[in-house]
Structure formats: structure tokens, C-alpha cells
Amino acid sequence: MAETQKTKKKAPAPKGGGKKSCSVKDCKRAYRAKGFCFFHYAKWRRGEVEGRPARYDTCHKEACKKKIVGHGLCQEHFDAWKASRKSAKRNTEAAPAAAPAA
């Protein structure tokens, strides 16, 4: 009987089904989210993973495709967000901070 086993070392990283693991080359850390381990996930969120776009390249607002200038929002929505925060603070201190949830 011929052995069909090819090589013992470096099995390809599992994708989708089965156990997930960090998709960054040579990273053996436990899977966390978005195809990364906790370490690279954090880096990716900061836009520090090479060759991977940060969480959002464009404004978080649905149907808005403008470029991000700050806080995950385009200039227009960023200004609107700042304005809404300001007015919310003025009107009622009880309003919770509207930080974009992950």
C-alpha cells in the first residue's frame, strides 16, 4: 500500500471549517476574531497589519463610502458626530457616550 501522506511538517492553515487560527504567516497564537489572534486582531484594528485594510477604509455610516478622517467617520459624519456630542452634552449629561461599538 502506497502512503498518500505528503509531508509531516507545516500543514496548511485551516480555513473556515474546523479549528480557526490566526491567518498571519508564521503566527501560532490562538484564534481571536476576524481571522486573527488577539495580538494581530489588535494590530489590525489599529491598521498595523501589512497588506490588510484596517477594519474600515470608509466611513462607518451605512451607505457612506467616503474616506475616514477620524473615529471611523468621514469628514462630514465626523463633524456631525462631534456636533451631536457637543449638543448632547449641552442638553443632557445623562446621554451615554456614543462610541462606535465593535
> Is position 68 an interface residue for Zn ion (rule: CB under 5 A)?
no
Query: Quick check: 29 and 22 in contact, CB under 8 A?
Result: yes
Choice from 30, 33, 64, 98 touching Zn ion (CB under 5 A): 64
CB 24 within 8 A of CB 36: yes
Does the protein bind Zn ion through residue 72 (CB under 5 A)? no
Which of 45, 52, 55, 61 is the binder for Zn ion (CB under 5 A)? 61
Nearer to Zn ion, 76 or 89 (CB): 76
Scan residues 34-53 and list those touching Zn ion (CB under 5 A): 37, 40
By CB under 5 A, is residue 13 in contact with Zn ion?
no
| Helix ranges restricted to H, 1-101 | 38-45, 75-91
Name which of 43 and 88 has its Cβ closer to Zn ion.
Answer: 43
Nearest Cα to 11, choosing from 51, 19, 3? 19
Between residues 28 and 92, which has the closer beta carbon with respect to Zn ion?
28
Contacts of 21 (CB under 8 A, 6+ apart): 13, 14, 27, 28, 29, 30, 31, 37
* Residues at the site binding Zn ion, with contacts judged by CB under 5 A: 22, 24, 27, 29, 37, 40, 59, 61, 64, 66, 74, 77
